[in-house]
Chains A and B, each alone.
Chain A
Amino acid sequence: MKPLDTPSPAAVARVHALSERRLSAEEARAALAVPLGEAEEQETRSLIRWFRRRYPTPAARLAYARRAYRRWASARPITRGSDSDAR
């Protein structure tokens, strides 16, 4: 299997700028006006139920989040300074 190409610094910077962009008030109102679709709602609530069943306490969920971040950080090719997508 061909390994993933490391994105260029310019591409990372572009994604970062897009993800950190502050919406205008009008864009924010438009975003808030769009509800989850039925399928997405069911999928999201199912995921929440699974997560709460699997990790029944806030402490267990937070511990899971730390492990998940460590896994994610160790697998990715770019540096932490540009990982705003996880924030």
Chain B
Amino acid sequence: MRVEGSPFEEAAFFRAVAASGARALLIGRRALVALGIPVLTVDYDFWLHIDDIARFNTAIEPMGLYPTHAPEEARARGRYVAENDERVDVLVARSVPTVDGIHVAFDELWSRRRGLEVAAGVVLAVPALPDLILTKRFGGRPKDFEDIRLLEALRREEGQ
């Protein structure tokens, strides 16, 4: 659903997220693109620390990105969306199981995160490559496994 027709400034969005101090990991295909894999993508996907929902929402609301659920509801559901012309999918859970039964903890991924300069002077956190691959196993859709194959190729390209 498109609520507003305001122009979206990606750099300003990333700057607001980075400046908020929220522990937010950019995941999903947008992270693949930032790392160097040219795939088509629509949304922004973040995995957010469960205690940082309000901080994150406060940062992005000036861009017209309004959350579909209040923080308490979001915590109970494990995810929510913030959107206007853009859509931001936000995962909020201390740990998430992969489709094949591995429990992946946010805190562990956060401790191994890498920073990417996604706009001038703006550094966002993304999971380390092996961890990003694990997050692709949350959804368990066929295209997620295609993305995993691309990420594995990137990993070899980087000599990891």
- B152: chain A residues at CB < 8 Å are 35-36
Whether A49 is near chain B, meaning CB under 8 Å from some CB there, is yes
**Interface class of chain A by DSSP:** helix
Residues of B19-38 whose CB lies within 8 A of A: 28-30, 33-38
Once A and B bind, how many residue pairs between them come within 8 Å at the CB atom?
Answer: 108
Given contacts A25-B101, A36-B153, A58-B117, whether A83 and B42 have CB atoms under 8 Å apart is yes
Whether A12 is near chain B, meaning CB under 8 Å from some CB there, is no
Interface flags for A11-53 (1: CB within 8 Å of B; 0: not) read 0000000111111110011011001100001001101110110
Nearest B residue to A71, CB-CB = B40
Interface flags for B74-118 (1: CB within 8 Å of A; 0: not) read 000000000000000000000000111100000000000000111
Nearest B residue to A54, CB-CB = B38
* Chain A interfacial residues counted at CB < 8 A: 39
- Contact (Cβ within 8 A) B10 A45: no
Q: Which residues of A contact B (CB under 8 A)?
A: 18-25, 28-29, 31-32, 35-36, 41, 44-45, 47-49, 51-52, 57-59, 61-66, 68-69, 72, 80, 83, 85-87
